[in-house]
Amino acid sequence: MKHTHTLFIFLVAALCPVISRAQYHFGSVSTDDEFYLSEGIISGAEINGWVGPPLLNGDVSMPSAVTGAIFVTYRHFLTEKFALGCSAGMDMESGDLSYGNPETNATGLDGVSGHYKMHAYTFAPEALLAYMKRDNIMLYGYLGLGVTLYDDKCTIDPNAPYGPPVVLPSNPYDYHKTNFNFQVTPIGVRFGDKIAGFAEIGAGYKGIFSAGLSVRF
């Protein structure tokens, strides 16, 4: 399942230039194409993995390893300041599960009850507006709306003092779901010409802060 999701994401990413160019054509307007490679922190997928591994209400999860939201983004400028494009990326997280005492209806860190792994694969079309665009610097913001495919696994320790509040169909338990996802980035800065660095602040599938490298051609 993981390999299928990964193949799907990168196939769609490869088709992004074709999709974007096929939608609009502005004749002799001067345009740019840009690719971005970014890594972000505290993404929507990471928060989802931290507060609620699949179908286990009342649990507390403690992430011990987080890759960050890694994305590839393609953008095509239709005008001097407006661009359409799409992003494809993945996010991974793993950690410990802990459950409270069901007799007292409490949740808390009562020892490690098990472990979880979360893989999230996201694809989203995006629209960008450049507030200021010069040769060596661009200030911009953008919106994205897409889908995230989750591939989660929970393993419960049968010797743990407290188990999950629901009975799992199997142990380990694999869970797959698909959610709509979004990215709102009110401010980003790209510094450089053909090869540049960039940093962004926002919220959603790329995280509250992301940065990386960009190529323009």
* Cα dihedral 5, 6, 7, 11 sign: positive
Q: How far is CA 172 from CA 23, 63, 209, 211, in A?
A: 45, 18, 33, 35
Residue 43 backbone dihedrals phi, psi, to 5 degrees: -85, 170
Residue entry with tokens 């769609």:
12
Which pLDDT score is estimated for 163?
64
CATH of the structural domain 2-16+31-206+212-216, one choice from 2.170.120, 3.40.50, 2.40.160, 2.60.120: 2.40.160
- Res 19 pLDDT > 70: no
Tell which residue, 17, 79, 69, has the closest CA to residue 48.
69
pLDDT in tens, 146-173: 999 988 888 877 777 666 656 677 788 7
- The answer to whether residues 58 and 98 touch, using CB atoms and an 8 Å cutoff, is no
Q: Which of 176 and 185 is assigned the larger pLDDT?
A: 185
Phi-psi region of 153 (alpha: psi -120 to 50; beta: other; left: phi over 0): beta
Which pLDDT score is estimated for 54?
42
